[in-house]
Structure 1
Amino acid sequence: MATTITGGSVPRPESVTAPLNAKAAERQELIERWAERHGVDVARRLAEAEDLADAVVAEITPDNTVDTYDKSWRVWTRFCAATGLPQLEGSRGALVAFVTWMLCEGQQNGKGYAPSSASTHLAAAVVGLRERGVAVSGDDQAEARTALEGLAVKLLQAGERRGRGQAVGADVDGLRAIARACPDTLTGERDKALILTGFRYASRSQDPAGLLTGDITLHPRGLLVDVLTGKTKHSVRTAKIPYDDDLAICPVRAWTAYRTRLVAERGEQWNDPTTPAFVGIDRWGHVTGGMGPDSVTRAVKRISMRAGVPMAWTGHSLRIGLASVARRVGRDSIAIADQGGWARHSRSMLGYMQREDGWDDNAAAGLT
């Protein structure tokens, strides 16, 4: 790994021809202190360890997190261009102006962002500033967030409701409608398996997209699904999916039928444990490789619309559905968390459950 220490001496920042940004200059000063304290050889090894640490952080950061940071930085740079403010300053006034601009006109079409989106962009822009060596105080960031929350209240008071709101949750009636609507084709078998298994382990759209054939194994009591692509450590888990008494929506039978048909029609190579568990299939029935998160999201919406569910499902509907339906039938919250890969007291999971508890657990019910 490359470091700035070469030839047994530590060059001063001004001796480097390429200008160093603030973060690189800070690293250089740290290396110089190590060299004074421990000698050049030890400083070199410590610098290499820093490089390794940076590489590990980059490797374990989920792709969707990187995409969010990149998108939010582009929003920040558009804001700076529109207002004439410097990109590498994160002052209190600049951050408050940023959230105000986002709510008023920040989108590329000139419309304002929803407060939830503006909140995401604010947090990610601060990360981007700090990565580029800009000091952003916690107090300044907190003041910008307070301004954002206050402005969001003003929007509500003015009758503006922005954002799509929470996705609709899948339910058992929807599962039955989908199972009936799936055609007797390889695509239909794939669709049915995708929905019925995804519902049982509370899948996000990226979860089935990341599964390999070897990640799903038959067990005498059902399926074992090794979910390895969630965004938190709690999602690295083995979900157990039992057989369902209702044969029409049994996820185990749906998975077996899909995989049997895939191998029979498209070849034995799809039995290889390293192949994608869920394959993309074009309109002519050709297998195009593994499904990506976006294609899973589109498939869930298309499948639900074909079945005529009252509100089209999204890539998050299966996840919401497992939490809410399981809670409604009396499943323990810890068991639900373990099955879906949530932390055991996850606020998002409890929020999904609240959809079902609003009447049965209503504090105003049964008082007289």
Structure 2
Amino acid sequence: MTGVLDGYSVPVALQDAQTDGRSAAAAAGTAVAERQRLVERWAERHGVDAAHRLAEAEDLADAVAKEITPENTLDTYAKSWRVWTRFCSCTGLPELEGSRGALVAFVTWMLREGQQDGTGYAASSASTHLAAAVVGLRERGCAVSRDDQAAARKALDGLAVRLLQEGERRGRGQAAAAEVPDLYRVVRACPDTLAGARDKALILTGFHYASRAQDPAGLLAGDVTLTPRGLVISVLTGKTKHSVREAKINYQSDLEICPVEAWKAYRARLAGEAPPRWSEPTAPAFVGVDRHGNVTGGMVPDSVTRAVKRISVRAGVSIAWTGHSLRIGLATTGRRKGKEAVAIADQGGWARHSRSMNGYFQRVDGWEDNATAGLT
């Protein structure tokens, strides 16, 4: 990497420093010791029996926290901790010290050479790894102050600006938004098979409730209810205080791209061509289908992401979609059609003043409200 980070190197004193020998097992031992000291203080205040009950309540709290943490969040924490340990291995810094200097060195290293292939991370990825690494440090009994974390984030932001000034562009940028003309292309490119019917329903319903890749993967058939006015989809979500949102999808005037009709056709075809168990309310709403037309099981987030991309490529969409394209598409299309921001937020499960949703709106507003629009 050239430019601003060329002259950076970890000080020799730190390169030569030996780790203090504390492993993950030692961290666990430290946590146990801290818990024991806490129990002893409770015993002094409230008696031994109450102290044991409080300790059991702490264990329950830990178990509940682990249970309710979304799986993708746990995956992110695990991945970021591996990045942190690689950094510590490269620099000779101890894994269980989250000092200001260590965190600033961490973000600098990530931007310079942090990826497995020796290239630097995009600033957004580095930011995610920093936040998750701090969580990992605290979980392992290491104190990380807000001031130290803020210093690292300030360094990251400043270095990212310098990289942009030097002409470096990293990351994929924002995903392409699905547009209504694209929906026609997708529908017309779908084969007349069970997989093709599944693809139509996946895309058209996903567009209309602003799905993330994990949303259709988490749906059961019983979560989708057909009513006289359309579909009601009970979407599980771990990203807001609400565990389920009820997304309503109206019948559309053009039956060719109507998500309700696509869902009905898919379910009818599934009932006719697959074993009855795949039509049970407890079966996955969207199933994998092999090249011979056999159901292989429920779709998972990765398979949904791959399917969305494959479907868009098959349809000749100019910029291939990602797992977020349907979600962005609902926000931008709704905005363009004059829908209220509150209605869009509720349909897609955004907070009503969501920064990400407002960023999607800017795609539309940046053209419609542009100072150059209609000048001549």
TM-score w.r.t. the length of structure 1 is: 0.93
2:93 corresponds to 1:54: no
Q: Which amino acid aligns with 1:250?
A: C
Contact residue 207 and residue 230 of structure 1 kept, 8 A? no
Contact residue 27 and residue 141 of structure 2 kept, 8 A? no
Candidates 298, 303, 311, aligned match of 2:311: 303
Residue 367 of structure 1: CA displacement? Answer: 8.4
Contact residue 234 and residue 343 of structure 1 kept, 8 A? no
- 3-state SS in 1 of match to 2:225: strand
2:369 corresponds to 1:354: no
Residue 233 of structure 1: CA displacement? Answer: 2.9
Q: Deviations over 1:336-366 (max 9, x none)?
A: 0000001111110111111011121235657
Residue 154 of structure 1: CA displacement? Answer: 1.1
Distance (Å, rounded) in 2 between the aligned partners of 1:328 and 1:234: 28
Q: Which residue of structure 2 lines up, in the alignment, with residue 113 of structure 1? A: 121
2:97 corresponds to 1:104: no
Contact residue 235 and residue 341 of structure 1 kept, 8 A? no
Question: In the superposition, relative to structure 1, how do residues 245 and 235 fare at CA in structure 2: closer, same or farther (>3 Å)?
Answer: farther
Distance (Å, rounded) in 1 between the aligned partners of 2:263 and 2:222: 13
- 3-state SS in 2 of match to 1:289: strand
Q: Which residue of structure 1 lines up, in the alignment, with residue 267 of structure 2? A: 259
* Identity fraction in percent: 76
Residue 283 of structure 1: CA displacement? Answer: 1.9
Structure 1 stretches lacking a partner, 5+ long = 1-17
2:211 corresponds to 1:203: yes
Residue 236 of structure 1: CA displacement? Answer: 2.0
Residue 229 of structure 1: CA displacement? Answer: 3.7
Residue 29 of structure 1: CA displacement? Answer: 1.3
2:229 corresponds to 1:224: no
Report the more deviating stretch, 19-28 or 63-72: 19-28
Q: Which amino acid aligns with 1:30?
A: L
Q: Which residue of structure 1 lines up, in the alignment, with residue 22 of structure 2? A: none
- 3-state SS in 2 of match to 1:112: coil
Distance (Å, rounded) in 1 between the aligned partners of 2:159 and 2:28: 39
For this pair of structures, how many residues does the alignment match?
351
Q: Which amino acid aligns with 2:352?
A: R
2:183 corresponds to 1:175: yes
Q: Which amino acid aligns with 1:336?
A: I
Residue 280 of structure 1: CA displacement? Answer: 0.5
Distance (Å, rounded) in 2 between the aligned partners of 1:221 and 1:283: 35
Contact residue 21 and residue 133 of structure 1 kept, 8 A? no
Q: Deviations over 1:199-249 (max 9, x none)?
A: 000000000000000000100000010001453235720100010101110
Q: Which residue of structure 2 lines up, in the alignment, with residue 144 of structure 1? A: 152
Contact residue 22 and residue 134 of structure 1 kept, 8 A? no
Residue 24 of structure 1: CA displacement? Answer: 2.4
Candidates 81, 84, 109, aligned match of 2:89: 81
Question: In the superposition, relative to structure 1, how do residues 19 and 182 fare at CA in structure 2: closer, same or farther (>3 Å)?
Answer: closer
Contact residue 179 and residue 249 of structure 1 kept, 8 A? yes
